[in-house]
Each structure stands twice: as C-alpha cells, then as structure tokens.
Amino acid sequence: MSSLKVLIQFTLFPSVPILFLALSLAGITSETVGAQETLGIDRTLSFDQPVKIMAINEDGDFILKTGNILRPAELTLPNAGDCERLPSACDIVSKIRAYHDLNLVGKRVYIDKQTSFYDRYNRLHAHIQSLEGTWLQHALLRQGLARVEAVESTAITTPLLLGIEASARQQEKGLWSLKAFKPLSTDIPKNKMDRFQIIEGIIHKTAEVRGVIYLNFGDNWRDDFTIKLAKDMRHKFSDKGQSLLNLKGHPIRIRGWLFWENGPMISLHNPEQLEILAPEQDS
C-alpha cells in the first residue's frame, strides 16, 4: 500500500513560506486547519475594506452594492456551466450557492485590499472575510467546494491554501469525491481540454528552446503532455526557471488552464502552480 504523497519544496521556489512546508509535512487535518485560519488572517492579510454583496450572478460571482463584480481570489469554483456538463457536480454547485446565500448575500463583508486586483474584465478578485470573521477561501476549500487556482496568486497566501486543499482532497470531501475533479494522469483525453485542470505525473524530459523551457511527460513532444514556461514569464522564478531543467524523473502536480499545443499543455505563470511531490514508497 502506498503512503500519501507529501509536498516538498525545492530551491526552485525559495519565495514559498516555510509555513507551507511545515503544514504539508505535518499532514493538515480539519482541526488544525481551523486553528490556522485565524493565524493566517492575523499574519498575512488585513481585512479592512468593507463592501456589501447584493446578489450572485449566473457565473457564481458576487454583485456588490457599487455594481462591481467580486470573485474569491485564488479559487476556481464549480458553477452552473459545470452542472450542465457534469450532472454529478450539481450537488456541489447547490451547496456553494446555499453557503453564499446564508453567509454572504445581503451582508457586508471585508476584503483584503493589499492582495486584491482587477482582471481584464474589470472583475475584482479579493480575499474575503465575513462579519463573523470567517475567511471565505478557507471555508470553501475546507469543505471541498473549491480548488486553488494559483495562476493569479501570491506567495503570501497560496501555500496555506494549497495545504487546506490537500487535506480536503485526501479526505475526498465535496468535489474531491467526484472523478471529474480528481487530478488527471498525464495520459489526457481530448475531452478534458480548454478548462482548468490539476495533473500529476513524472517528468520524462526537460528542454530549453529559444528561451522557452519545456517539461515533457512522454517520448514524443508533438503529442504528449507538456508544461511550458514562456520566455516572458521566466522573471517570476527566482532563477528564471533554470532549476526546472533539473526536474527530470521528479513526480509533480501542476494546475492551470489545459490547452492543445503539440499535445495537451499547461503554461506556467507562477511558481505556485507547480508542486514537487515526494516519490511514493511502499509502506
């Protein structure tokens, strides 16, 4: 029987707080997550900007009293579109809506201005705290109602969020009980393209071509799964991504938008998208 995978950090990601490593190695439980929720709020964020949520739109986003659209930063949540495509996801979508209706709609909440940002559609992405002091991102992840996106993220909060997600995934809570949301292997069918995915596998080859770094998961780069670090994204990595070239043979977990470019591909935009996993060993 294989032991649980343990997340470990290589020198590739020195910006990731030691807290993530400590939590991951200890094995987060629902009890310890509750204790860390207040710790995280006190140490990383300042929920000091009040906004009022008036309603939820068809995409599951919050409509503020000002008319702005608010999204929980760093998360991707199942929505009505997922329900139409995957009937098994409808129960999860309903639970998310019920949670939001009970705890957020019609109420004032507080957001962290320091890490919030507007996307190209002028939607506000922010960490959100209820009047009762609950960090929304933590609450959703703990129940298995969301996944950490990590594409537009910060090293301030992402490691702790990934630890909470890992705990829910190991316990198969919420969406993690459904096959459609579990991490994919690198042998990816074409019907999984053009959506957010989490993929696990062992890096078969690495290469640098005209300033672009590629991590390949098969013998044929023209049709196997590949991770790409574009030249204009390398500045986000402490060593411009050079350490990625040393990951041949390492098991990893990658998350992001899966598209087709000489086979299934995910582009790296942040170091936090890529987790290095400890090899499984027989117990």
Q: What is the pLDDT of residue 11?
A: 34
Specify the amino acid at residue 1. M
Q: Which two tokens stand for residue 36?
A: 């860390």
Confidence (pLDDT) at 21: 31
Write down the pLDDT at residue 191. 86
CATH H-level superfamily of 183-277: Nucleic acid-binding proteins (2.40.50.140)
d(CA 11, CA 155): 15
pLDDT in tens, 21-79: 333 333 333 333 333 343 344 346 788 899 999 999 988 899 999 999 999 999 999 98
User: Measured between alpha carbons, how far is residue 122 from residues 68, 158, 183, 214, 259 in Å?
Assistant: 8, 23, 30, 32, 24
Distance between alpha carbon 31 and the CA centroid of its chain, in Å? 21
Give the span between the Cα atoms of 131 and 161, in whole angstroms: 21
Q: What is the pLDDT of residue 153?
A: 73
183-277 and 17-174 share a CATH fold: yes
Domain ranges for the chain, please list them: 17-174, 183-277
Both tokens of 65, joined, read 């009293």
Residues of the chain with pLDDT below 50 are 1-43, 281-283
DSSP 8-state symbol, 184:
B
Distance CA 75, CA 157 (A): 12
Q: What is the dihedral of CA 65, 66, 67, 71, to 10 degrees?
A: -80
Residue 161: the pLDDT is 94
Token pair of 189 as six digits: 């069918």
Distance CA 215, CA 242 (A): 12
Q: Which CATH number applies to 17-174?
A: 2.40.50.90
